[in-house]
Amino acid sequence: MKALLSVFAMIILVMTISWVGPVSPDQPVRGTVIKNPVSPNPNFAFFRTHRQGKGITATWGLDQNAGVTGFIVQKTYEDPGDMYANWDNICAMSCGNERSFKHEDMNVSPGFISYRVIAFLLSGGTIMSMISTERIVSH
């Protein structure tokens, strides 16, 4: 009986590995930032939001700023995971030689507010930061 259970467990293991496939170090893991040293495109080094006074301050930085022409900061009170969420552009700024940037949003209402930054590249493409969510209870 033990031998039969061992064989059955081995068959399940083989079927699971063949269905899921082996995990490769090249495959991204959800929630991680993937950096490709071969790519000439910059990456967001960090993106954070925090409550400051009666508003929210967003700060972000780039690994390199070569090829970035500017940014748009966006926010939403809707579910950021919803592909139909309405993101409002709250700030547009150009990119100089700096590697870190900041925007203060003083126009906030109670609730959950999610922020993201879109960077515009010289090549015409864009890169998007991760999403950061803050909760405003009251003013």
What is the DSSP code (8-state) at residue 57?
Answer: E
75, pLDDT greater than 50: yes
How far is the C-alpha of 14 from the C-alpha of 107, rounded, in Å? 55
Nearest 5 degrees, angle CA 26-CA 32-CA 34? 45
7, pLDDT greater than 80: no
- Full-model pTM: 0.68
87, pLDDT greater than 90: yes
How far is the C-alpha of 107 from the C-alpha of 130, rounded, in Å? 21
Q: Model confidence over 24-49: pLDDT tens digits?
A: 444 443 443 434 333 455 789 999 99
114, pLDDT greater than 90: yes
